[in-house]
Chains A and B, each alone.
Chain A
């Protein structure tokens, strides 16, 4: 299972880089979305895909018995998703504004600020 997921993560990274290298700013943002998803999935996979019980200590006991799932990666991913969501919301507004102001969605025509 982990091997399969590793390939999926790799595929997502590849796809996102491919999208980001294209000329349209819309595809650029799609690339960024896939990129953040790839990073989140990577955290999920790398921390180990275990079929464990929820990490709750039963009443009366002082430690967990048996194997449990690690809750921390999920907390990390949740935080990262929220952050990525807000940042991408900004990015979408930005490309819309850029399209209005510059009048094109072609990155090759946005070279005014380069040298």
Chain B
């Protein structure tokens, strides 16, 4: 029995239930949010350490033997994702103390946040494909409610697109699970991986694999079904945006990594080529969409799309180096993207707008905030020695080694255009003078007294430190990504770990 494998799901679920029980005491919910996410991070680190020590951790729920029970499995990739979930959860919980409006707190902001984290953690740890669907829905339902909390017009319009596309993708996922069950008669992912190779009709397996690709592709916001993301991610309050930006699409990417390394590796030349071009177009459309935007959070939303392309590229090339790059990219991206959204929230608090034309002069008044923006922004664009440089370097190098020169060229071009967008934000928000029509400039001088000023800055500084650590102290992180990629390239290890019953 490995308690560390269950804790990342149990902690947020319990915290969510407790927050519901203390519905009227907002103060208690706030304390609970920070404690529970802190514990989640601690449990994640424990899980990662013990996963590295043992290779795989497996828990069979209800002690039924493996293919019959629902199993929780953690490999190094899953454990890394749990640690990242903990980091982002803690950062968001602290940031929420200051940024969340009182009305949202009263209407269950914290319970929903815990539920979302539980869904995300469950999706990263489950070893059962139908269970994955259930965790997806847990996560989605919490995200629906968080997205619409506040009920403004833009939120409603964004939510309709978000809800529809995500429900559509869930229905495709469910159908694909059904078809797969009809062929192999099992839902355990390791068992499916074993049996799917001896199916009578291999063509049908490829069809089902494409259904999974479309479904997870929608959730990951890959080309061509990404448009729900920039239509909705800038509408809720900023802590929610940051949480979604960091974690939700990455669950889709993780699911793609899981099924297209473990289960669907029969026809790599076909499926992974489709993924490759989807990745290339995702990068390109995302970054071009961002170039046309002049709203802080919208630019960032489009950049989520373009960055998803790099992660898919790592999977699509399907070489050991490419997978290392993909895993490294996920680690870098989650931290950087969340941080950029949090910075956009601080400038909003200072100047009351997300529109670039209404912003300006932040560098003059708050040079340290400008620095805090510059670290994740330049990292996103891939400037050495920050984390994004190494992430991009590995992925591009892998694509060159695989002789996919067109895709490498696109990846490099997209890096350049990302820099353009980041410099645009830098010039408009931080460098230029505050426009004359902004009369509320007194806010910049720090005259506005608001509660918990520190809570805005602690997460931003912490995440910026993570970015610097990943960049400057990259070797251990690279080794970690290498272990994860090694396990992904050898699905036999995963199958043995789950079905062999060697680890208890």
Contacts and interface: CB of A to CB of B under 8 A. Distances in A.
Contacts of A15: none
A94 B148 contact: yes
A43 B292 CA distance: 43
A115 B229 CA distance: 12
Interface in B156-196: 156-161, 163-164, 167-168, 170-172, 174-175, 177-179, 181-182, 187
Interface residues of A, number: 37
Interface string B120-131: 000000000010
Contacts of A69: none
Contacts of A110: 156-157, 160
A102 B167 contact: no
Contacts of A25: 160
A83 B137 CA distance: 7
Given A47-B181, A73-B181, A115-B292, A32 B148 contact: no
A30 interface: no
B154 interface: yes
Given A46-B182, A90-B145, A102 B157 contact: yes
A94 B144 contact: yes
Contacts, number: 111
B293 interface: yes
Mostly, the B contact residues are: helix
A113 interface: yes
Contacts of A86: 141
A53 interface: no
A28 B174 contact: no
Contacts of A36: 167, 171, 174
Interface string A88-109: 0011001101100110000100
Interface string B202-246: 000000000000000000000000010011101100000000000
A32 B293 contact: no
A107 B161 CA distance: 10
A76 B159 CA distance: 28
B175 A39 contact: yes
Interface in A35-72: 35-36, 38-40, 42-43, 46-48, 72
Interface of A: 20, 25, 28, 32, 35-36, 38-40, 42-43, 46-48, 72-73, 76, 79-80, 83, 86-87, 90-91, 94-95, 97-98, 101-102, 107, 110-115
